[in-house]
C-alpha cells in the first residue's frame, strides 16, 4: 500500500460496512477504558454517597411522616374525647339553664298570683269604700234635700202658731226622754 493509494481512496469508504477502522477501534477503546476507569474511581463513590444520602433523607422523611401520623392520630383522639366532653358539658349546661328557667317561671307565676290576689283585695276594698262613701253622700244629700223640702212644705202649710206648738212639743219630748 502506498501513500498515494491511501490518499487517493475515498475517505468515506471503510474496509467493512459495519465496523470502523482498526485505529479508531484501538484509540476509542483506550479512551473508553480511561473514561470508564476515571468514572469508576471518582464518580462512582460520589454517586454511591449521593444515593446513600438520598436513601437516608427519604428514610428520615418516612420516619418523620410516621411520627406525624401517630401524633395526628393522638391529637384526633384527644379532639374526639374533648368533643365528647363538649357535648356532655353542653347537655349539662342546657339542663341547668332549663332548670333555672323553670324555677324562674314558677317563682314569677307565684309572685304574679300573689300580686293579682293583692290587687283584687285592694280593688274590692276600694269598691266597698266607694260604695259606702257614695251611700253616705247619698244619705246626706237626701237628708239635706228632705230638710229643705220639709222646711218649704211646712212653711207653706203651717202657720206661726202651729209651728210654735210643734217646737214646744219637740222640746218637751226631748226633755222627757232624758
Q: What is the pLDDT of residues 62-112, one digit of tens each?
A: 999 999 999 999 998 888 887 777 878 888 889 999 999 999 999 999 999
CB 19 within 8 A of CB 25: yes
pLDDT of residue 9: 57
Number of domains in the chain: 1
Q: Give the C-alpha separation, 85 to 70, whole Å.
A: 22
* Residue 114 predicted with pLDDT over 80: yes
Is there a domain that residue 11 lies in?
Answer: no
Q: Give the C-alpha separation, 163 to 12, whole Å.
A: 183
pLDDT of residue 147: 77
pLDDT of residue 8: 52
pLDDT of residue 1: 47
Cell numbers at 55, concatenated: 436513601
Q: Give the C-alpha separation, 176 to 168, whole Å.
A: 12
Cell numbers at 35, concatenated: 473514561
The pTM of this model reads: 0.36
Mean pLDDT, the chain, rounded, equals 84
Is there a domain that residue 30 lies in?
Answer: yes
Residue 120 makes CB contacts below 8 A (sequence gap 6+) with none
Q: Give the C-alpha separation, 153 to 162, whole Å.
A: 13
Stretch 12-18: mean pLDDT, rounded? 69
Range of the domain at 150: 22-167
Amino acid at each position: 500500500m502506498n501513500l498515494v493509494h491511501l490518499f487517493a481512496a475515498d475517505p468515506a469508504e471503510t474496509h467493512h460496512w459495519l465496523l470502523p477502522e482498526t485505529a479508531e477501534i484501538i484509540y476509542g477503546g483506550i479512551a473508553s477504558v480511561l473514561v470508564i476507569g476515571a468514572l469508576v474511581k471518582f464518580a462512582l463513590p460520589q454517586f454511591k454517597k449521593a444515593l446513600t444520602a438520598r436513601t437516608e433523607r427519604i428514610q428520615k422523611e418516612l420516619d418523620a411522616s410516621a411520627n406525624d401520623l401517630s401524633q395526628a392520630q393522638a391529637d384526633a383522639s384527644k379532639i374526639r374525647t374533648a368533643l365528647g366532653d363538649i357535648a356532655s358539658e353542653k347537655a349539662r349546661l342546657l339542663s341547668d339553664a332549663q332548670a333555672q328557667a323553670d324555677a324562674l317561671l314558677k317563682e314569677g307565676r307565684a309572685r304574679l298570683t300573689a300580686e293579682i290576689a293583692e290587687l283584687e283585695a285592694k280593688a274590692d276594698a276600694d269598691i266597698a269604700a266607694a260604695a259606702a262613701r257614695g251611700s253616705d253622700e247619698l244619705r246626706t244629700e237626701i237628708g239635706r234635700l228632705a230638710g229643705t223640702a220639709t222646711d218649704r212644705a211646712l212653711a207653706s202649710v203651717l202657720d206661726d202658731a202651729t209651728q210654735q206648738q210643734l217646737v214646744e212639743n219637740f222640746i218637751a219630748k226631748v226633755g222627757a226622754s232624758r
